[in-house]
A = this chain, B = another copy of it.
Amino acid sequence: MRILFLGDVIGRSGRKAVRHHLPSMVERWKLDFVVVNGENSAGGFGITEKIFQELLDAGADCITTGNHAFDQKEALVFAERQERFLRPINYPPQTPGRGANIYTARSGARVLVINVMGQLFMTALDDPIAAVEREIAAMPLGRDCDAIIVDFHAEATSEKQVMAAFLDGRASLVVGTHTHVPTADYRIQPGGTAMMTDIGMCGDYDSIIGMQKDEPLHRAVTKISSGRLGPAMEEATLSGIAVDVDDTTGLAKKVAAVRLGPHLERSVPTFWTDED
């Protein structure tokens, strides 16, 4: 099974890049399942239902989020009716929407996606480790589903590496999101679970984590806020990860970073196009 996961889409520029590249990636790489983190897709803060739909139309099968999930208040409403929308599972139980769901991939395989948030250096939700454990125990890989994908939306590299190690052998792919910078450490762990500490953003990298540089620079120099943050508007680079999952075990066979666009070193999976 061929899985693509793209990191936090930042505003208009990020959406444009997704619309432009994703459809051909789906086709060219014969992708079975695509996840996109959409928490910053509406002007950098949250996501609207229209944008959610736009990302699905571009080829996403599931939209994950994070601490910005509900910045746009309409997400509190459409989270309920849109089964392909996920918000972190460790929000309080009464929170609208779902934190995990099972989907049917193009191949017919059953894919469990879990979205969960970290506790370190962030507004804390419930224990992410326990939350993921519950989901995976209830629906183990190879028995109740054919692939498990975890989006761990967290700040600290240590916390994200712990989650990946914790799930090694029991999930197909564990990625970090939230820092908006791709790490260069994608790999298959000893137990067979692919991981990447952070898959970066789909946004304009000539920026401060996707935002225009002026205000963050002003704040850093003066320690005083002088206005709002807005998304950087130049051409976005897609960033994410591509994983080839074993149809029998649900574990990762091959993994590659995906970086497509200006500023970053280009990276695309070669194992799929080579096989063509």
Contacts and interface: CB of A to CB of B under 8 A. Distances in A.
A159 interface: yes
A198 B265 CA distance: 15
Most buried by B among A162, A213, A220: A220
A156 B155 contact: yes
A92 interface: yes
A182 B198 CA distance: 10
A165 interface: yes
Given A155-B121, A159-B220, A223-B91, A185 B205 contact: yes
Interface stretch (A35-43, A49-57, A108-116, A256-264): A256-264
A233 to B, nearest CB: 15
A183 B186 contact: no
Interface string A151-173: 00001111101110110000000
Contacts of A208: 158, 161-162, 165
A206 interface: yes
Contacts of A217: 162, 165-166
Contacts of A179: 157
Interface stretch (A126-134, A139-147, A243-251): A126-134
A263 B187 contact: yes
Main SS class of interface, A: loop
Interface string A235-276: 000010000000000000000010100011101000000000
Nearest to A168: B213
Nearest to A237: B185
A76 to B, nearest CB: 7
Contact of A95 (B155, B162, B181, B224): B224
B183 A222 contact: no
Residue among A92, A161, A213, A263 facing the most chain B CB atoms (10 A cut-off): A161
A85 interface: no
26 contacts: A70-B224, A76-B224, A92-B222, A94-B222, A119-B124, A121-B121, A126-B126, A155-B155, A157-B179, A158-B209, A158-B216, A161-B181, A165-B216, A166-B220, A181-B184, A181-B185, A181-B198, A182-B183, A183-B183, A183-B198, A184-B184, A184-B200, A184-B264, A184-B265, A185-B205, A187-B205
